[in-house]
Structure formats: C-alpha cells, structure tokens
Amino acid sequence: MPGPTGYVVPGPESVDDLVRRIADRDPAAFGRFYRRLVPAVFAQVRESLGSPAPAVAVTRAVFVEVWRLAPLPGSRQLDGVAWVTAIAARRAADRLRETDGPAPRVATCYDDLVSRELAAVLNREPPAR
C-alpha cells in the first residue's frame, strides 16, 4: 500500500551528505550524524584519555564543534569521517594538555555549557549531573 502523497522515505545518507545538510543548519541531519558517529568518536576519545568521564565531555565538545564549523566555507568538500576524527583527536589532545590531576573548575563549567548546547541542537534535555 503506497504512503501518503508527497511522503518520501529517506534513503541511507552518507556521512558527507549529512555534513552538507548540517552546513545548511538541518538539525535532523545533525541528529542522524550524531547517532551514527557518537559511538566511534567516544571510543576514540576514551582510548586517548583513558577515562569515560572526560571522554563524555570531550565527545560532546566534538559534536558542538561540528555544528559550529559545518557552515564555514570548505566544509562541504571535507571527508566527514576524517573531519570528525581529526576534531576528536585534537580535542582529546587539548584535554590531556589541560589536565594534570583533577579537572579545573573552568573546564567543568565549559563542559556544562557544551552539554547544554549539544542538548539544544539535538532538541533534548541536558543530562543531569
């Protein structure tokens, strides 16, 4: 039985297609991009940092950065997976340089801000602390 007139079931999108749609500020595409790549990005960051708590915060920051940078010139031509992997590697390295011991208060406040921003882009409630 055919669906309603005008309704098209979207086919599988490549990560690069999603990046182009994110560049056009499509939050639904960002949600699909996030769901597709968050496990791999989290695993990459956790391996670099060795601990899940800072890896969660860094992973959130990676996706917020994707949302912020996608509209910039040139992002539409990038390999989406390589781009997000490079962002994750840089963010993890930055976190390793920042922290020698307990996380400084500024980093904690920044992590909270990033968490709220990611939740807003994904149209979700921010996680409880």
Q: What is the pLDDT of residue 6?
A: 46
- Per DSSP (E only), the strands in 7-55 are none
SS3 call for 6 = coil
Q: What is the pLDDT of residue 116?
A: 78
Tokens of 123: 């149209």
Q: What is the pLDDT of residue 77?
A: 86
Reported for 62-65, long-range contacts at CB under 8 A and 24+ positions apart, including other chains, are: 62/87, 62/88, 62/91, 63/30, 63/34, 63/38, 63/118, 63/121, 64/114, 64/117, 64/118, 64/121, 65/91
Indicate the domain borders of the chain.
Answer: 15-121
Contact 118, 63 (CB under 8 A): yes
Q: What is the pLDDT of residue 11?
A: 57
Distances in whole angstroms, Cα of residue 27 to Cα of each of 17, 32, 78: 13, 9, 19
Mean pLDDT of each 10-residue bin along the chain, 129 residues long:
46 89 94 95 95 93 94 89 95 85 55 74 63
Q: Nearest 5°: phi and psi at 127?
A: -65, 145
Q: Which CATH architecture has domain 15-121?
A: Orthogonal Bundle (1.10)
Scan for tokens 């400084």, then name that residue.
104
